Amino acid sequence: MALSILLLLLLPLPLLLFLLLPNLFYRLRFRLPPGPTPRPLLGNLNDIKPVRFRCFAEWAQSYGPIISVWFGSTLNVVVSSSELAKEVLKEKDQLLADRHRSRSAARFSKDGQDLIWADYGPHYVKVRKVCTLELFTPKRLEALRPIREDEVTAMVESIYNDSTSPDNKGKSLLVKKYLGAVAFNNITRLAFGKRCLNDEGILDKQGQEFKAITANGLKLGASLSVAEHIPWLRWMCPLDEDAFAKHGARRDRLTREIMEEHTLAREKGGDTKQHFFDALLTLKDKYDLSEDTIIGLLWDMITAGMDTTAISVEWAMAELIKNPRVQQKAQEELDRVIGYERVMTEVDFSNLPYLQCVAKEALRLHPPTPLMLPHRANANVKIGGYDIPKGSNVHVNVWAVARDPQVWKNPDEFRPERFLEDDVDMKGHDFRLLPFGAGRRVCPGAQLGINLVTSMIGHLLHHFYWAPPNGVRPEDIDMGENPGLVTYMRTPLEAVPTPRLPAALYKRVAVDI
């Protein structure tokens, strides 16, 4: 409140009226969804709690499943029910398929030259077609399956070695360390055919550069202040154009370096493995893809796939440790189907229905992007009987949708059996469960993500029994979230793994593909 008063005192009356009129105009002309009363200039920014999806879910309990939230002078509409999610993502999808780009997103994507940040139009349709018809096809995912299974078995070997060493035996391990290695190596191998992190956890030169660029991108994005939502304040908090330019040049330089390596290998006839990067080079002329689009697509895959998989599995393991009944039931299924003489593969999934339900239940309770990325209205549209003016941002609170007590029985309970009783699709066809979104902007790599999450959970459960650290009760595990676009655990999970299988089954057999 003090900041609002200070800003009001600093503004001349004509300018103040000019700044307040748009908000007043919207509220008088349109029948907007209800919501907390916005303050002058700042809107509801002062009232939003750090973990936004929980804050919006609380407001939905007071104002209803569709609410208005003002980020400064920008209207944001948040929906929190499956019926309204269906209206946003299916029935009115084309009118809400544009993308809001912050200043940092605009710089990173070169004004939407990639897939994630592109507005809906010919460019988006073309790039989307490349993803669905060329990159994420069942045939290509199956061809690259050995990479995923190789990295998961490398994770198992690393956990086994660390947990059975004299110094660590019986002690807890930081789970995300091992999950992050799988996610990082998997995405760099799928995208570029490069394993940048070795079995000792040491990055090569390019791997170090990948990590540094990713971390710097997050830092730059987080550096934007409240001025991001108040356009007239941006002159006081200008974007560090030099820092963004250097970041973009560094990212492009690394990508072009790898591009040249692949081009030389292809010219020599020695690289026909058709990872995503090779595929894009082959498809460049067919789809008229610019170099900016190829680079943008590859970095979309890196940023979207590197953290979300590890986050999802960490939450799943936390729930399994808190719920030993579920852990035991999943292990009994694995022992019955896989046994004690071999390791699980993705081919076994069809015979492991309870394991699939465990993965699905973890993604229901802990979707990696709980608010999805905001859609932007490209025309005036009605949702739930309310007006959504052109240019408004629309968020689907998939976290709240998946915990709606009117839809889910005991929604906060981790109970995978619910999906044996009701087979709910989670790839955008059933609007009760939307960890990958739905409609025109559904994640094209949903099946890849599901396969990897299920495989990681299955291997962790088949190879080890998991318990909380000594002195910690299962119910005391911190299940709070860190603020941010993706839901990191507030307190990284620590757990004690105990091997369950013969020692020979913990050895990775390297795969070169």
What confidence tens digit (pLDDT) does each residue in 397-452 have? 999 999 999 999 999 999 999 999 998 999 999 999 999 999 999 999 999 999 99
What does the pLDDT look like over 70-119, one tens digit per residue?
Answer: 998 889 999 999 999 999 999 999 999 999 888 888 888 888 899 999 99
Q: Which long-range contacts (CB under 8 A, 24 or more apart) does 14-21 make?
A: 19/73, 19/232
* Rounded percentage of the chain residues whose pLDDT exceeds 90: 60
Question: Which of 47-61, 187-201, 215-229, 448-462 shows the lowest per-residue confidence on average (mean pLDDT)?
Answer: 215-229
Mean pLDDT of the chain: 88
Which residues are part of a known binding site for heme?
A: 443
Is 43 among the domain residues? yes
Number of domains in the chain: 1
> Cβ distance 377 to 92 under 8 Å?
no
**What confidence score (pLDDT) does residue 224 get?**
60
Is 85 among the domain residues? yes
92-112: string of b/e by CB count within 10 Å (b at 16+)?
A: bbebbbbbbbebbbebbbbeb
Question: Which of 15-19, 247-251, 507-511 shows the lowest per-residue confidence on average (mean pLDDT)?
Answer: 15-19
Dist CA 356 CA 424 (whole Å): 12
What does the pLDDT look like over 34-66, one tens digit per residue?
Answer: 999 998 878 898 899 999 999 999 999 999 999
Helix (H) or strand (E) holding 212: helix 205-222
> Cβ distance 439 to 89 under 8 Å?
yes
Residue 226 pLDDT greater than 70, yes or no: no
**What confidence score (pLDDT) does residue 190 get?**
86
Is 37 among the domain residues? yes
Is 90 among the domain residues? yes
**What confidence score (pLDDT) does residue 41 get?**
78
Question: Which of 307-311, 336-340, 342-346, 465-469 shows the lowest per-residue confidence on average (mean pLDDT)?
Answer: 307-311
Q: How far is CA 176 from CA 182, 315, 454, 457, in A?
A: 10, 10, 16, 13
Residue 280 pLDDT greater than 70, yes or no: yes
Dist CA 498 CA 494 (whole Å): 13
> Cβ distance 365 to 414 under 8 Å?
yes
Using CA atoms of 280, 286, 292, 293 in order, give the dihedral in degrees to the nearest 10. Answer: -70
Residue 12 pLDDT greater than 80, yes or no: no
Q: Which residue has the higher pLDDT, 471 or 15?
A: 471
Dist CA 230 CA 240 (whole Å): 17
User: What is the band of 273 on the pLDDT scale with cuts at 50, 70, 90?
Assistant: low
Is 277 among the domain residues? no
Q: What is the DSSP letter of 81?
A: S
Dist CA 264 CA 267 (whole Å): 5
> Cβ distance 302 to 194 under 8 Å?
no
**What confidence score (pLDDT) does residue 276 get?**
86
Which residues are part of a known binding site?
A: 443
Question: Which of 14-18, 30-34, 168-172, 256-260 shows the lowest per-residue confidence on average (mean pLDDT)?
Answer: 14-18
User: What is the band of 212 on the pLDDT scale with cuts at 50, 70, 90?
Assistant: confident
Residue 492 pLDDT greater than 70, yes or no: yes
With 0-12 / 13-18 / 19 or more C-beta atoms within 10 angstroms meaning exposed / middle / buried, residue 260 is exposed
* Rounded percentage of the chain residues whose pLDDT exceeds 70: 88
Helix (H) or strand (E) holding 361: helix 353-365
Q: What's the one-letter identity of residue 482?
A: N
Q: What's the one-letter identity of residue 190?
A: L
CA 391 from centroid of its chain's CA atoms: 24
**What confidence score (pLDDT) does residue 14 get?**
57
Is 362 among the domain residues? no
What does the pLDDT look like over 301-310, one tens digit per residue?
Answer: 888 877 899 9
**What confidence score (pLDDT) does residue 192 get?**
82
155-179: string of b/e by CB count within 10 Å (b at 16+)?
A: bbbbbbebbeeeeeeeebbebbebb
Q: Which residue has the higher pLDDT, 45 or 197?
A: 45
Across the chain, which distance is largest between two alpha carbons, in Å? Answer: 79
Nearest to 400 by CA among 42, 54, 140, 15: 54
Three-class DSSP category at 203? strand
- Its domain, for residue 34, covers 1-100+377-401
Is 237 among the domain residues? no
Q: How far is CA 464 from CA 179, 322, 349, 510, in A?
A: 15, 15, 19, 21
> Cβ distance 396 to 85 under 8 Å?
yes
Is 430 among the domain residues? no
Q: How far is CA 161 from CA 166, 169, 388, in A?
A: 10, 10, 56
For 388, list phi and psi in degrees, rounded to 5.
-120, 100
> Cβ distance 465 to 319 under 8 Å?
no
Residue 4 pLDDT greater than 70, yes or no: no
Residue 25 pLDDT greater than 70, yes or no: no
Three-class DSSP category at 91? helix
